[in-house]
Amino acid sequence: MPQHRITLLPGDGIGPEVTASVVAIIECAGVPVQWDSYFVGAEAVSRFGDPLPQEVLDSILRNKVALKGPVTTPVGTGFTSINVRLRKTLDLYANLRPVKSMPNIVTKFENIDLVVVRENTEDLYSGLEHEVVPGVVESLKIITERASTRIAKFAFEYARAHNRKRVTAVHKANIMKMSDGLFLNCFRNVAKQYQNIQADDRIVDNLCMQLVIDPNQFDILLLENLYGDIVSDLAAGLVGGLGVVAGANIGENGAIFEAVHGSAPDIAGQNKANPLALLQSAVLMLQHIGEMDAARRVQNAIVKILASGPEHRTRDIGGRGSTSDFTAAMCETLRRGTRASD
Ligand code: NAI
């Protein structure tokens, strides 16, 4: 079997613990990977004076795939978030967040299975702000035909590849007729090329209300950057929060699969961290590199472990287990699954 070469960025706080767990589980799933591991964030600053050394970017550009743990970002002072820098420098234009209900994670709704696709590079996140006159500030919302078209194509291609039936564009084109209007028109133009996938749209405020009343009516949601930032967290909350959902940033130059929670300094080094969010991201990564069978087996093992006793789940999701208990249970389930199919 050919070996995959993947850049590994363990990050800070609980990052090294959750990445070690996920690396071990991927090995137990029998996927051959050579990991190129680098320090980023606070640890890289203390060693090299730079939270994101150039060799990290070079490695991602070479390998095209990275798995990243959370990074501590100092508040008020110090370096700016490397997450934004990575997305901008590598032009990772698509933010992908599948949101699915999990066994034994109790929430208001059952059987949620939706995907949030967020444009990652423009909108109000272009950082173009200035003071027009004292007391008046302007923040520019940039929407382009190019970026709106490529993210719409990404959403429809994802729908096609994953056998999804519908893409819903989310906007405020009733008020921002030009900018959100352009985003919506690009979506409608792209939709014409995908006749078998249903395409419709919702105004963002209505969508938020609908999501908390009846989330099961949606399939794939496509949003600009700011709406996507907010709605993807709302959607994560529907299935148990940021500790259980996957996140990926994908572009032509590469893809970074990451945990969306932070570095949790309060529990770092105590074998308490839950690797589930990073593991869910690793499942997306396995799909991305074509390891469909391994992705399916890991996903099935997650469902089995969560449905089993509390000793295999970490405390943040109501269990009694440690990081290593979860890792060992996952590996045992994967090995048993392999033996059963031998
Ligand atoms: P946080 O997500 O690190 O922690 C919030 C709470 O959730 C804490 O009680 C923590 O123990 C718990 N928690 C988080 N992840 C967990 C896991 N996997 N297992 C069990 N419990 C978990 O958010 P906080 O405290 O606001 O941020 C801490 C640091 O992380 C900050 O420096 C922040 O800038 C950074 N951060 C980094 C992110 C990234 O690199 N993607 C994202 C969010 C925050």
Q: Per residue in 254-279, pLDDT tens?
A: 999 998 899 999 999 999 999 999 99
Provide the pLDDT for residue 342. Answer: 42
* 341: confidence class by pLDDT, cuts 50, 70, 90: very low
Beta bridge partners, 123, equal 142
- Tokens 């389930």 label which residue? 333
Q: Is 266 in the pocket of ligand 1 (CB under 6 A)?
A: yes
Nearest ligand 1 atom, CA 259: 41
Helix%, strand%, coil% for the chain, nearest 5: 45, 20, 35
The DSSP annotation for 75-104 comes to: SSSSPPPHHHHHHHHHT--EEEEEEE--TT
Compute the distance between CA of residue 196 and CA of residue 192 in angstroms, rounded to an integer: 10
State yes or no: pLDDT of 22 exceeds 80: yes
Annotated catalytic residues are 125, 172, 205, 229
State yes or no: pLDDT of 1 exceeds 90: no
299: exposed, middle or buried (C-beta count within 10 Å: 0-12, 13-18, 19+)?
middle
| 79 CB-side CA count, 13 A | 20
Smallest CA separation from ligand 1 atom 10, residue: 264
CATH architecture of the region 108-238: 3-Layer(aba) Sandwich (3.40)
| Segment 218-232 mean pLDDT | 97
Nearest ligand 1 atom, CA 274: 19
Q: CA angle at residue 77 from 71 to 79, to 5 degrees?
A: 45
Per-residue pLDDT reduced to its tens digit, 127-161: 788 999 999 999 999 999 999 999 999 999 999 99
| Ligand 1 center from residue 156 Cα (angstroms) | 32
Structure tokens at 231: 């709605």
Report the CATH superfamily, name and number, of domain 1-92+242-342.
Isopropylmalate Dehydrogenase (3.40.718.10)
Instruction: Supply the angle between the helices 15-28 and 276-288 in degrees, to the nearest 10.
Output: 50
Smallest CA separation from ligand 1 atom 2, residue: 262
Of residues 260 and 327, more confidence is placed in 327
21: exposed, middle or buried (C-beta count within 10 Å: 0-12, 13-18, 19+)?
buried
Task: Return mean pLDDT, the chain.
Answer: 94
Q: Is 274 in the pocket of ligand 1 (CB under 6 A)?
A: yes
Q: Is 110 in the pocket of ligand 1 (CB under 6 A)?
A: no
| Ligand 1 center from residue 252 Cα (angstroms) | 29
Per-residue pLDDT reduced to its tens digit, 59-103: 999 999 999 999 988 766 666 778 888 998 999 999 999 999 999
Neighbouring C-beta atoms of residue 272, cutoff 10 Å: 17
Smallest CA separation from ligand 1 atom 26, residue: 262
Q: Is 168 in the pocket of ligand 1 (CB under 6 A)?
A: no
129: exposed, middle or buried (C-beta count within 10 Å: 0-12, 13-18, 19+)?
exposed
Provide the pLDDT for residue 242. Answer: 87
Q: Is 87 in the pocket of ligand 1 (CB under 6 A)?
A: no
Smallest CA separation from ligand 1 atom 25, residue: 264
Q: Where in the chain is the domain with CATH 3.40.718.10?
A: 1-92+242-342, 108-238
Of residues 234 and 336, more confidence is placed in 234
- As separate numbers, helices (DSSP H) first and strands (DSSP E) second, the chain gives 11, 12
| Ligand 1 center from residue 48 Cα (angstroms) | 24
Compute the distance between CA of residue 239 and CA of residue 105 in angstroms, rounded to an integer: 7
State yes or no: pLDDT of 340 exceeds 70: no
Q: Is 22 in the pocket of ligand 1 (CB under 6 A)?
A: no
